[in-house]
Structure 1
């Protein structure tokens, strides 16, 4: 199998700077009689303005990311109602791990597809594939089929996060980029509260339909509802254009200009007044793939990320990504179970155990003697989810207002996460310890910030691959984190929190060397 064509270096012609530096940077070709002004890509995006298309793209991305979030994390709520499957603790652990495993296996191919076939085409395969497989998982006759289908659906959806952020970053100007990514992040925080509320309402319904090969119960209905954002976002993708920066990088400048004009029109601008006729990318080297064996294409698209000058950036971002995801997702995927056991432990033995660690240990002992499956989500989990979403939303609004200082904000949030983790084992007050536990997972606010660095720090030719490999690192670390939380927290709770806290602190140290905020430049 091969990719059509061969590698061609696309060398930018020699250019002279012209015009007043206070205006848009212009370039002219030497010896050209009809000197058209040549715009940098960022200038071309700025001139496309903002309007309905920009906000529609944000709305599409929010919906798509809600879909993959529900597909991946919703299973933790779904499984609380799957009493008819008679799941053991080990089977639950496997089912909670399969979404991460699927993302790890497919991240590399999605990165290759994004950089060679386009962001939009890869997104279409990602969204439709995940929607179809996730819908089929609703009718799984046993836990093994459910695990296989969730593995596949999350494998398809793994590309959506990196592809979506890349498409947004390459279709909006740098002035808007940070703000829009924070808006997307804020909406994702609300997802957690919304899926707990939906889970609470549906799991408390009396639903039972005999379909011969399965009984369609409330947890299956919940799983089906969770697939709807994937299907809707896949349908809406038809209204989204390909990344104009990808088109320029691939050598299709004419189509890129047409796309920019269409974006201008849908943003409410006058296309006849759009001045851009020539675009230059401010990157030293770009490549276009043609007639190269598939394996060599994959190699040439990946190896540069692990060689100077990109090697340092790759290691730095991958490590920070691993810290965030193993900490946040590792606890997040188990939170409904932790909250439920915390609640039952408190009711049974409030005087003997008031802190998080003691309560988890005592509640697990109580659970060991229980033979019935409750099949619902307790009100405590519901209200804690709503409270968490509300607080995180407020924090994100604050982060949004400080988007010009994203590095400083990022480090501050990670330091707060570290402080909460260190204090948790020493606190014995029930309410205070739960607040600290929520504070420890505040690193979820940092997810969108770190992925904005994937857009900023890598050249267009390797950005899709870098972001998708970043997702692979994210899911891999989340897989490790969720398994460690599930098997290690109840036996070594205090040690776990201390170890994890200093692990977060190491991420803070590495984050210190991220590119500076350049507030002066952005404010000009």
Structure 2
């Protein structure tokens, strides 16, 4: 097929013009795309580790920082608060300055703030620094999906996003693995007046993927689709030539296309922040309005269950493993038992009582959970084009919602843990939802649209984490039931998702390119 296309272009050498999508096809698929996939995967790994890593820290740091359940909820939600508060800004900058230009410096800066947070001496210092870390992580948390999607031809975009998202599952293997190695240690050393204990060093360990991704980004170009939309075909051509060179092992000068036409011209030429607001307003007008409402509510549901619940899973597992009850009891009963035990110890103790020991069994269970996520992501990558994006998304969310409710009622710790693991696979559906949504947003709006969608998703994560922290001790069964029902019920919205071809046609009539 490619050779035939090439011969067609040779016939038109007099005009020397090729449409952008045809030129993209000629650039091929190979080593360049694999490097983009690896880099994007490391970025997603970094975002995930920075977002949920504190769930392993709060139990270990409970005594050092005097963390109550409410404080734990705030600290675990801190990164999400930072991501939420700056998503619009990063979306605007990503669409104005470029995807790569925004992600590269932000990843380096986020690593610096993350390391700084490990030196916190009280909960408020930790909270502020984790929020600032989240603000910087926000730059790449959704922009990376736009970058990854735009670096692949339309027929490979969904699978590329799915395969890139596999790296998210690695965080759920890597984090507990690192925690298992580092946190149970009894060592400590002093830097100035601060005693460095294992949980502080654990925070340092999860900064490596972001720095590695930043290094790889130095060798990668800006998205050619962004360059086409913002600067014109002349700016996009060298990137396509570089892609062709890497994929075919030849010189960029051998790229058979010498001139590109985009097929459409961007209608909106407004500049600055006013221009961004003008473009942003298009998201809340037909035909994109329906897409925005459905995708944003759905992403809220995905993150509320997956990330909101995940932040409490290490603590829940720790309670299950430390339970001294000889009877088979539910998760909620185990949590109630812990509260009663703490009250009794406080009443019968002269001084303050605090235990921050983490059961070693938490870590291998969490790693097994990560392995299940990885298999789920791999299955999505294989089946997403065979089953269909919407069908696969709805199937995962319905099953995970049912498992969430069941986990609270099963009177056996091992079975409840297995059901929790399945419920948390709802997080894998975020990549499918991103693949569904990215198709309908024009290039000039894509980064902002994805950032806002993930902003709403992270709002769900922060909401879920805090609500569970506030209700697990008092309304445990109700919390699990509401979370599960909302997750499964949110799939009804997908019945109203429009055909992407119709949306694209209407937006292209307004002069916006894809």
TM-score normalised over the length of structure 2: 0.89
- Tell me which residue corresponds to 1:152: 132
User: Is 488-497 or 399-408 further displaced after alignment?
Assistant: 488-497
Q: Following the alignment from structure 2 to structure 1, what is the Cα–Cα distance between the partners of residues 367 and 116?
A: 29
| Structure 1: tracts of 5 or more residues without a match | 1-21, 519-524
Q: Does 1:62 align with 2:38?
A: no
| 1:376 Cα offset (Å) | 4.5
Partner residue in 2 for 1:354 = 329
1:36 deviation in Å?
2.8
What CA distance in whole angstroms lies between the structure 2 residues aligned with 1:397 and 1:172?
19
Q: Does the 8 Å contact 1:342/1:363 carry over to 2?
A: no
Partners of 1:437 and 1:517 in 2: how far apart?
34
1:285: how far off?
Answer: 4.3
Corresponding position of 2:508: none
Report the Cα offset of residue 284 of structure 1. 7.1
Q: What is the number of residues matched between the two proteins?
A: 488
From 322, 325, 339, the counterpart of 2:303: 325
Pair 1:297-2:278 in alignment = no
Q: Aligned partners of 1:311 and 1:511: how far apart in 2?
A: 14
**Residue 496 to residue 80, structure 1, CA distance change in 2 (3 Å):** closer
Asked whether the equivalents of residues 286 and 461 of structure 1 are also in contact (C-alpha less than 8 Å), the reply is no
User: Residues 142 and 38 of structure 1: is their aligned pair in 2 closer, same or farther, counting only changes over 3 Å?
Assistant: same
User: TM-score, normalising length from structure 1?
Assistant: 0.87
Q: Residue in 1 aligned with 2:255?
A: 274
Distance 2:167 2:112 in 1: 24
Give the drift of 1:221.
0.7
- Report the more deviating stretch, 416-425 or 270-279: 270-279
Cα shift at 1:121: 0.8
User: Aligned to 1:491, which of 464, 474, 480?
Assistant: 474
**Which of 320, 324, 337 pairs up with 1:342?**
320
Q: Distance in 2 between matches of 1:75 and 1:362?
A: 24
Matched, 1:251 2:234: no
CA shift for structure 1 position 171: 0.9
Query: Where does residue 18 of structure 1 map in the other structure?
Result: none
Q: How far has the Cα of 1:406 moved from its partner?
A: 2.0
Tell me if structure 2 keeps the 8 A contact 1:193–1:385: yes
SS of structure 2 residue aligned to 1:215? strand
Alpha-carbon separation, structure 2, partners of 1:492 and 1:367: 18
- What's the counterpart of residue 449 of structure 2? 466
Report the CA distance shift for 1:429/1:261 in structure 2 as closer, same or farther (over 3 A).
same
Shift of 1:265: 1.0
304 and 398 in structure 1: CA distance in 2 versus 1, 3 angstrom threshold: same
Q: 1:482 to 1:283 in 2, by over 3 A?
A: farther
1:118 counterpart = 2:98: yes
Match of 2:215 in 1: 235
In structure 2, relative to structure 1, the CA distance for the partners of 1:221 and 1:424 (3 Å cut) is: closer
Q: CA deviation at 1:133?
A: 1.1
The answer on 1:401 being equivalent to 2:382 is yes
Other-structure match for 2:147: 167
1:451 counterpart (410, 414, 434)? 434
Which residue of structure 2 lines up, in the alignment, with residue 421 of structure 1? 404
Are 1:52 and 2:31 an aligned pair? Answer: yes
Q: What is the CA distance between 1:108 and its match in structure 2?
A: 0.5
**C-alpha RMSD over aligned residues:** 2.5
1:479 aligns with 2:462: yes
Conserved? CA contact 2:114–2:133, under 8 Å? yes
Q: Is the 8 A contact 2:6 2:26 kept in 1?
A: no
Any conservation in 1 of the 2:390–2:436 contact (CA below 8 Å)?
no
Does the Cα contact within 8 Å between 1:178 and 1:403 map onto a contact in 2?
A: yes
Partner of 1:76: 55
Alpha-carbon distance in structure 2 between the residues aligned to 1:438 and 1:333 = 13
Match of 1:202 among 159, 165, 182: 182
Task: State the partner residue of 2:339.
Answer: 364
Q: What is the 5 A alignment of 1:372-383?
A: 372-383=353-364
Give the structure 2 partner of residue 85 of structure 1: 65
Partner of 1:17: none
Task: Measure how far apart 1:369 and its partner are.
Answer: 4.3
Give, in whole Å, the separation in 2 of the partners of 1:24 and 1:441. 47
SS in 2 for 1:354: coil
